[in-house]
Structure 1
Amino acid sequence: MPVTNPWLACPSPKQRLDRERLEERILNLLSSQNMCVLATAGPEGPLATPVRYFHLDFAVMFSTAAGSPKMRNLATDPRVSVGIFAPLVGQASSRGAQLFGRARVLSEADADFEHYWPAFRWQSDHVERSRSLDEPQTGPLVVIEAERIVYTEHWLRREGFAPRQFWTRADT
């Protein structure tokens, strides 16, 4: 029987990508997708929420209503996990990342707000909702700077690399 990807049947390689190549692959994933699953924990237990995100380097960001369940959970515990993945066609196309970090809720008064705000494309949301582009979005900006990332890409096996790679922020 012909096999499309015989290299998937072989034992998984253990070799690590160098940091530069790994970062390039992670940034490609973050740039090519726009939905993630945000996992938070609160008094009522865990909550996994699909969220449209934008990114700036290894930080993902989104905006939401101040009283939403995810915002209530973030107020209780800012530690989060974020899952981002490309559409799966088969094992060979398996590609995704788990980001771990702490969520920060920024308002326009916060010093870091101006660093992240230009990368947040609020205009697309306004167009979808027939809102004027002359009135920028208001409300909190949630930013998650990745502290560590587990990146998975089974295609790496073809090049002799482990399909699961690990990244840690340099300043942690």
Structure 2
Amino acid sequence: MLEERILNLLSTNNVAVLATVNADGSPAATPVRYYSLGFEIFYTSWNASVKSRNLRRDPRVSAGIVAPLVGQASSRGAQIFGTARTLERVDPEADRYWEAFRWQSDHAERGRPLDEPPMDPLTVITPHRILYTDHWLRRTGHHPRQTWRPDGA
């Protein structure tokens, strides 16, 4: 049930606040539009961006995803703790992520041709732990915060 709830949250939202570490050790939080494939989230970013430079130096990352809030009882979201890696467009591993990336809508918004796929690199975040919060879980006798790990521990 927890995995289904997390997958539902990831697939029904598209903005995460990505936290990376600056060179001086201070935090940098950046909103990104993401897509998901299983428990991984991914987004495009220029290699020269601050977040990309931070991740090349230190691939540890945290991302926060929050569903629209109606009231305290409807509070639902996830904190993803994991490792980021950047895949260039020519990397064969990138193909499976590009298949899940709805780049056509972005191109349409920007007036770009739909027969020219993007060449941007993808940053993929693989979670080591997800802290899921859903206050509706109280209604079924469960704690509103649950921890997911890929190994089930």
**TM-score by shorter chain over 0.5:** yes
Q: Which runs of 5+ in 1 are unaligned?
A: 1-20
- Equivalent of residue 69 in structure 1, options 13, 30, 50: 50
User: 1:1-172 maps to which residues of 2 (within 5 A)?
Assistant: 21-44=1-24, 45-170=26-151
1:55 partner SS: strand
Identity of aligned residues (%): 59
Runs (4+) of structure 1 exceeding 4 A deviation are none
Q: CA RMSD in A?
A: 1.4
> Per-residue deviation at 1:171?
8.4
TM-score, normalising length: structure 2: 0.95
Higher normalized contact order (CA 8 Å, seq sep 6+, divided by chain length): 1
State the aligned residue count: 152
Letter in 1 for 2:140: E
**Contact 1:42–1:74 at 8 Å: present in 2 too?**
no
Q: Which is further off, 156-165 or 111-120?
A: 111-120
Q: Which runs of 5+ in 2 are unaligned?
A: none
1:131 partner SS: coil
Specify the structure having the higher radius of gyration (Cα).
1
> Per-residue deviation at 1:73?
0.7
